[in-house]
Amino acid sequence: MKQSLAEPPHLDETVQARNQALPGRISISLQKALLGVIATALLAGIVPAGLILDRRLVAELESRARRDLQLAPRLLRDRDLALAEGMKMHAKEIARAPGVAQAMREGNRALTIARAEAARAGFGDTIVVVDSSGAAWAGPKPDPILIRATQADTQSVGVVSDSAALYTVALAPLQHAGTWIGAAGVAIALSDASAGLLAGLARSDIVILGARGQPTAATTRDSATMLIARAAAAWARDSTVHEVRVAGTRYLATTAPLGDMGRIVFVRDLSRDLGVMPKLRLLAALSGGAALLLGLVLGTVLALALARPVRSLADASDRVAKGDFSAPLAPSSITEVNRVAHAFEEMRHALRSRLGDLENANSELAARQSRLVELQSELMHRERSAANGRLVAELAHEIRNPVANLRNCLELIDRRLEHDPEGREFASMAIDELLRMHELAERMLDLNRPNDVKAGQCDVGEVAREVVALASAGGSADSIVMSVEDDGASDAAIASDALKQVLHNIVQNAREAMPRGGTIRIKLGQKDSRIIILVTDDGPGIPRDILHRLFDPFFTMKGDAGGIGLGLFVAEGMVRVNGGRLTVANRDDGVGARFTIELPSAVSDPLKDALNHPSLTLDRS
């Protein structure tokens, strides 16, 4: 019986249909979706905030480095003022030291230098002694401007260049009876040591440039020193902060004048200023990860609270799909979810009532459909009876009389071939075939009358071999090869003449489809209580669009070559009335056609066999 229209499909089929309805769609639970939304929201908040904070910190560190560099020249001026006061005081003490002026007046260079050195007392790097002509007896030679300022009886401090080094020099006048006879003082070299002290004060690296722009002292690396010195040589003498890149490293630099003899460059290595950023980034990443983990934990708790009643609704809907309307619904503290649960409960109650009504309607529909099938079968039976009636009338007129005449002639020939055994054998075979043709019209009448399926039985192997022998006798020996493969099939519940007629029609059609020769195979087998006969050929096959019409009466593919289209129609009718089935298809393993004959075994119960094979119905469409 066919399945009721109201019968709910199995749960697996429902899920399969749902998946097929949404091809390529990813399925995800509500709990996972909520966790994904929470994680996405946290990441969307934490990651951009971290990136913005990172950029702000980098910008702030660079800005602080720039501000420090802008303050460095002022710190240098303040330091130079304090240093100048100290150097002036020491220069005055050296000039007033006992015997220094006297030795200068006497022109005793060695004594003057010795007494000045003694008066220096370790302050500065060296003494400076200048005679009345401006010639330097000791230390670096001051420039004329500094000497003139000292000669005017004013203590002066300046930067002088001596060879490849720069010095800060402080001089005091040497006088005798109010007359200027020279000058003495102290000098401090602007060396790497001095640059190191300045670097500590300004919190930056130092590059000291000479009068020609060459570096005389520095705290930076040698490779960076030369590049920074070259860049600084082109800068204006102001406190503008410039950026210099050396081997991928960024430096910020500004300059301050060293009198008229040179300049000092304050340099900040940004890689050092930004060296704290990796630790800050690590700390920020750990903090963000902890915040994300805490958010996920809280989100999991929230997602469970939200997903539990929704999951209960989903489980209840699955059980409804299987016909169970008693699944409990979990309560929820969310108003919208409670509304959905209440609506689902009302829908479930209404569905239960509708299903009851639908089952009653289906029962009535099944009864009507069963009656409709009976009426359809009766109508088809009547239409076939009418068609067969016309066929019988034509066959009675076209076959019976000629067959009777031929039979008489063949019997006369048979009697005259008394001494020709082979001829008499072929004559007997011809007479038997004419008898079978005579019985064909009678069997057409049988198509409209109930037949006893136990009316006859035969050895299918013997019948198949006889059909092959008859067909081979009528054709060239080397044009078509025919064979019979018997896998031990038992007797079939069909008369031998009927089976012979069926096989003969199929084999004859196969031969006509292969005018240039080929192979016809008849394979016999048995499956359960069914005898299976497969007839295959190597012909061109049958066009797909006419396969369904092959067993219709008066349908033929021979055209003007002959034939009225009754052979396969009669064959299919003979198989069907004996409880079997005849089907046709094109071969799957090559070219050609394949006819399949299914017949009940001679030892089977035809009624039980028909019930076990629902394909054996009156509807041949």
Q: Is 244 helix (H, G, I), strand (E, B) or coil?
A: strand
pLDDT, one tens digit per residue, over 119-165 is 888 888 888 999 888 888 888 888 888 888 888 766 578 888 877 68
Answer yes or no: is 375 within a domain: yes
**Is residue 617 pLDDT above 60, yes or no?**
no
CA 174 to CA 202: how far, in whole Å?
A: 37
Answer yes or no: is 500 within a domain: yes
CA 255 to CA 267: how far, in whole Å?
A: 9
Q: In the chain, how many domains are there?
A: 2
pLDDT of residue 599: 92
Residue where one domain finishes, among candidates 416, 449, 482: 449
In this structure, the answer to whether residues 595 and 460 fall within a common structural domain is: yes
In this structure, the answer to whether residues 377 and 468 fall within a common structural domain is: no
Confidence of residue 608 (pLDDT cuts 50, 70, 90): very low
In this structure, the answer to whether residues 443 and 461 fall within a common structural domain is: no
In this structure, the answer to whether residues 441 and 526 fall within a common structural domain is: no
In this structure, the answer to whether residues 487 and 590 fall within a common structural domain is: yes
Mean pLDDT of 26-52: 77
Place of tokens 């429902």: 14
Residue where one domain finishes, among candidates 426, 449, 472: 449
In this structure, the answer to whether residues 423 and 443 fall within a common structural domain is: yes
Of the listed ranges 251-260, 426-435, 553-562, the one predicted with least confidence: 553-562
DSSP state letters, 425-479: HHHHHHHHHHHHHHHHHHHHHHTTS---TTS--B-HHHHHHHHHHHHHHTS-TTT
pLDDT of residue 387: 67
Is the model more confident about 98 or about 337?
98
In this structure, the answer to whether residues 440 and 365 fall within a common structural domain is: yes
**Is residue 397 pLDDT above 80, yes or no?**
no
Mean pLDDT of 537-565: 77
**Predicted TM-score (pTM) of this structure:** 0.45
Answer yes or no: is 65 within a domain: no
pLDDT of residue 11: 44
Share of the chain above pLDDT 90, in %: 8
Of the listed ranges 77-81, 308-312, 442-446, the one predicted with least confidence: 442-446
**Is residue 609 pLDDT above 70, yes or no?**
no
DSSP state letters, 405-416: HHHHHHHHHHHH
In this structure, the answer to whether residues 425 and 559 fall within a common structural domain is: no
Share of the chain above pLDDT 70, in %: 83
In this structure, the answer to whether residues 391 and 472 fall within a common structural domain is: no
Answer yes or no: is 593 within a domain: yes
pLDDT of residue 564: 62
Looking at residue 512, which CATH number applies to its domain?
Answer: 3.30.565.10
pLDDT, one tens digit per residue, over 112-126 is 888 888 888 888 888
Q: Which domain holds residue 348?
A: 334-449
Answer yes or no: is 430 within a domain: yes
CA 577 to CA 163: how far, in whole Å?
A: 132
CA 241 to CA 430: how far, in whole Å?
A: 124
Answer yes or no: is 327 within a domain: no
pLDDT, one tens digit per residue, over 488-520 is 777 899 988 889 989 999 998 888 888 888 899
Residue where one domain finishes, among candidates 382, 416, 449: 449
In this structure, the answer to whether residues 414 and 465 fall within a common structural domain is: no
**Is residue 575 pLDDT above 80, yes or no?**
yes
pLDDT of residue 515: 84
In this structure, the answer to whether residues 461 and 555 fall within a common structural domain is: yes
Answer yes or no: is 421 within a domain: yes
| Average pLDDT of the residues of the chain | 79
In this structure, the answer to whether residues 493 and 599 fall within a common structural domain is: yes
